[in-house]
Amino acid sequence: MPKYYITTPIYYINDVPHIGHAYTTCAADVMARFKRMCGFDVFFLTGVDEHGQKAEKAATEQGIHPKELADNMVGKFTELWKLLNITNTDFIRTTDERHRKAVQYLFNKIEGTGDIYLGEYEDWYCIPCESYFTDLQLVDGKCPDCGRSLERLKEESYFFRLSKFGEPLLKYLEEHKDFVLPEVRLNEVTSFVRGGLRDLSVSRTSFTWGIPVPDNPRHVVYVWFDALINYLSGLGFPTDERLREYWPCDAHLIGKDILRFHAVYWPAFLMAADIEPPKRVFAHGWWTVEGQKMSKSLGNVVAPAEVCDKYGVDQFRFFLFREVPFGLDGDFSKDAIVHRINGDLANDFGNLISRSVTMINRFLKGRLEKPENLAGTDDAFRNSVEGLVDEYEKDMNDFAFYKALQDVFEITGLLNRYIDSEAPWKLAKEDEKRLKTVLFNIWNGVRIATILLYPFMPEKTAIIWNALGKRDAIESTIFQNEKIFYHSEELAVIEKTPPIFPRVEG
Ligand code: MSP
């Protein structure tokens, strides 16, 4: 069985999960479900990033130990992933013993080659971003990433010899044009590397909440060096068999703000340790809320559980990928989600399902037959549907979820027009043979649209699957078999389906 390894970032535990976290995790889940359906053995990893000064500070403010804070937050994340039907294979915590071992092993290994060395560091440090900046990088004396005030820090530090990896990285970027997607992000990374790389401080002595540097526990490992290694420790690095099966990773999904860590530092660490870099890093855009930046101080942070409560889990998942091309920024608003649910789901797809199921029941008592001769009149219709399925497959493999959903809604449009022009209610009175052919085509078209929507809306499509008379579980369906027009012997369409996508009010 071919393998597929996909990851989300591991989330900081100083913040409750919000739409940004849900976005990446749902995207990874959509891809994981799609790949499984295409016959891949998928390893899907998510988790939390527990160390660092930010976590330590947040815990101190609450008067608790950072581990206690992390334990509380892990509950919140796993609860949300359960609610959103996330099918992750494992959940990695950076306080796991397996992770500590992996980090210390890799640190030692790179130190052994001379690409980690002890030196002294002084520069501007941004606590929220856990990053140092040079004078040149500051914007009005503030952090260039988040705009907050900086502290001048000087410390003995271990350094990673990043400066040595500029050329190898450029070569890798040149030879792997789809290493970083979308293309605009690849350009960003390339110009960053071309601008020259300075050695990177990879340890801290100013706080203690982290993984101790092996043989020099006065230092803890820099939180990003620590965090990135989760992608290996989740597979049981350095000893586990799974490494050979799943590494190099097929896709790290991340937000655009953490691109440099994943597309520059991470492959360089791996090169230094003689480990293959990941195949792909996909950086998605950011959500604003009702046109504004999402922030705690504005009090407009979108809690995914509340949205799901109000509109439904699958509706929320669907909205995330139908509203905005994956890779671009987007805006979350009540009007937008209501519009999508009522338009695409209630009027379009939902209506198509109930019309089709009703007609198959009313006119054929729920029994379909494969027409003797399929060639002829409906070729164009069937070819268009199958052509769109091919597009969908390609788009999904490119992480073009927005386009993939457009393909599906072109199919539903074709089906609705086919129903209108063939008018089965008239054929029922005039031409039984033709009626059977038309309803056979409609059932197949609806079934195909349903399977294409499955990765986005696993719960609703499972209900529709049964309503279409399919007895196998939708999640164990094989895409290659389902993407074509076929005849199903034991077809019994359920009499009535409850409204699957009820209309919603704002
Ligand atoms: N802990 C690091 C990642 C380490 S991965 C080895 C981290 N954590 S985070 O919790 O701050 O952010 C996780 C992800 O959430 C990032 O990919 C970030 O882009 C994403 N988002 C945070 N706010 C977001 C939006 N408003 N919109 C979309 N995604 C956003 O960074």
CA distance linking residue 90 with residue 252, whole number of Å:
15
340 domain-assigned: yes
The residue whose CB lies within 8 Å of the most ligand 1 atoms, and thus the one to mutate among 16, 19, 24, is 24
**Do 54 and 171 belong to one domain?**
yes
Q: Quick check: CB of 282 below 6 Å from ligand 1? A: no
Which pLDDT score is estimated for 327? 95
Residue 374 has pLDDT above 80, yes or no: no
293 domain-assigned: no
302 domain-assigned: no
Q: Quick check: CB of 159 below 6 Å from ligand 1? A: no
Cβ atoms of 165 and 132 within 8 Å: the answer is: no
Q: How high is the mean pLDDT of the chain?
A: 95
Q: Over range 436-450, report the average pLDDT.
A: 95
CA distance linking residue 95 with residue 10, whole number of Å:
12
303 domain-assigned: no
Residue at token pair 């979820």 = 401
Phi and psi (nearest 5°) for 120? -130, 145
Residue at token pair 């389906």 = 497
Which pLDDT score is estimated for 490? 60
* Domain assignment of residue 168, given as a range: 3-285
**Do 444 and 343 belong to one domain?**
yes
316 domain-assigned: no
310 domain-assigned: no
- pLDDT band of 489, cuts 50, 70, 90: low
33-42, 131-140, 214-223: the lowest-pLDDT one: 131-140
How many domains, in total, are found in the chain?
Answer: 2
**Do 117 and 187 belong to one domain?**
yes
**Do 99 and 222 belong to one domain?**
yes
- For residue 66 the two structure tokens come to 């950072």
Rounded (10°) angle between helices 432-453 and 379-397:
0
Which pLDDT score is estimated for 396? 98
Ligand 1 centroid–CA 10 distance in Å is 8
Ligand 1 centroid–CA 237 distance in Å is 24
Atom number, ligand 1, closest to the C-alpha of residue 287: 27
Atom number, ligand 1, closest to the C-alpha of residue 227: 6
The pLDDT tens digits of the residues spanning 392-421 come to 999 999 999 999 999 999 999 999 999 999
Which pLDDT score is estimated for 129? 86
Q: Are strands 281-284 and 180-181 parallel, antiparallel or unpaired?
A: parallel
| Residues with Cβ within 8 Å of residue 387, at least 6 apart in sequence | none
**Do 208 and 274 belong to one domain?**
yes
Residue 339 has pLDDT above 80, yes or no: yes
**Do 392 and 452 belong to one domain?**
yes
Q: Over range 67-82, report the average pLDDT.
A: 97
- pLDDT band of 119, cuts 50, 70, 90: very high
**Do 218 and 350 belong to one domain?**
no
256 domain-assigned: yes
**Do 98 and 228 belong to one domain?**
yes
Which pLDDT score is estimated for 355? 94
Residue 373 has pLDDT above 90, yes or no: no
- Kindly list the distances between the CA atom of residue 149 and the CA atoms of 8, 121, 175, 206, in Å, as whole numbers in the listed order: 29, 19, 40, 18
**Do 255 and 372 belong to one domain?**
no
- pLDDT band of 305, cuts 50, 70, 90: very high
503 domain-assigned: no
Q: Quick check: CB of 366 below 6 Å from ligand 1? A: no
CA distance linking residue 11 with residue 279, whole number of Å:
22
Count other C-beta atoms under 10 Å from residue 119's C-beta: 10
Atom number, ligand 1, closest to the C-alpha of residue 9: 5
CA angle 238, 180, 125 (to 5 degrees): 75
CA distance linking residue 182 with residue 168, whole number of Å:
21
Which pLDDT score is estimated for 498? 80
Q: Quick check: CB of 445 below 6 Å from ligand 1? A: no
**Do 207 and 108 belong to one domain?**
yes
The pLDDT tens digits of the residues spanning 341-365 come to 999 999 999 999 999 999 999 999 9
Cβ atoms of 264 and 169 within 8 Å: the answer is: yes
CATH number at residue 447: 1.10.730.10
What string of H, E and C letters represents the secondary structure of 44-60? EEEEEECCCHHHHHHHH
Q: Over range 14-40, report the average pLDDT.
A: 97
**Do 229 and 363 belong to one domain?**
no
- pLDDT band of 199, cuts 50, 70, 90: very high
Q: Provide DSSP, 312-379.
A: -HHHHHHHHHHHS-BTB-EEE-HHHHHHHIIIIIIIIIIHHHHHHHHHHHHHHTT-----S---STTH
CA distance linking residue 19 with residue 295, whole number of Å:
12
**Do 53 and 182 belong to one domain?**
yes
Residue 431 has pLDDT above 70, yes or no: yes
Can you say whether the dihedral through the CA atoms of 69, 72, 77, 80 is positive or negative?
negative
The residue whose CB lies within 8 Å of the most ligand 1 atoms, and thus the one to mutate among 10, 21, 146, is 21
- Class of residue 191 by CB neighbours under 10 A (exposed 0-12, middle 13-18, buried 19+): exposed
CATH number at residue 95: 3.40.50.620
The residue whose CB lies within 8 Å of the most ligand 1 atoms, and thus the one to mutate among 77, 284, 286, is 286
- For residue 270 the two structure tokens come to 């791996």
First to last CA, the chain: 46
The pLDDT tens digits of the residues spanning 81-99 come to 999 999 999 999 999 999 9
Which pLDDT score is estimated for 132? 84
Region label for 471, one of left (φ > 0), alpha (ψ between -120 and 50) or beta (otherwise): alpha
